[in-house]
Amino acid sequence: MTSRAVLTHKSWTLEPDSEPDAEPTTYAMECVVCGESSEASEDFAEPQSWVLAHGGRNPSHHTYREIITRPWRAWWKP
């Protein structure tokens, strides 16, 4: 008995996941000076408020990084 392999080429697509059951996109901000960060939120206003409060408590902390978590999906076209 001989076995054989069947190979096919598939064209894959990668895109942001906008399906109804997709995880939400979330935003957070991190202080580059001390490493503290805000909670992740679907509303960017919350991490932005955190930056303003953190900067008010730490006047020398001027540099922040935005952390975006966005769901993606990969699928192949038949």
In this predicted structure, what is the pLDDT of residue 15? 95
Whole-prediction pTM: 0.78
SS3 55: helix
Cβ contact 76:43 at 8 Å = no
Residue 49: pLDDT band (50, 70, 90) is very high
Provide the token pair at 25.
Answer: 């996109």
Longest Cα–Cα distance of the chain, Å, equals 77
For the chain, the structural domain boundaries read 15-77
Give me the mean pLDDT over the 43-72 stretch: 98
* 8-state DSSP, 37: B
User: 33 is written with which tokens?
Assistant: 């000076």
pLDDT band of residue 76 (cuts 50, 70, 90) is confident
Q: Which two tokens stand for residue 2?
A: 């001989």
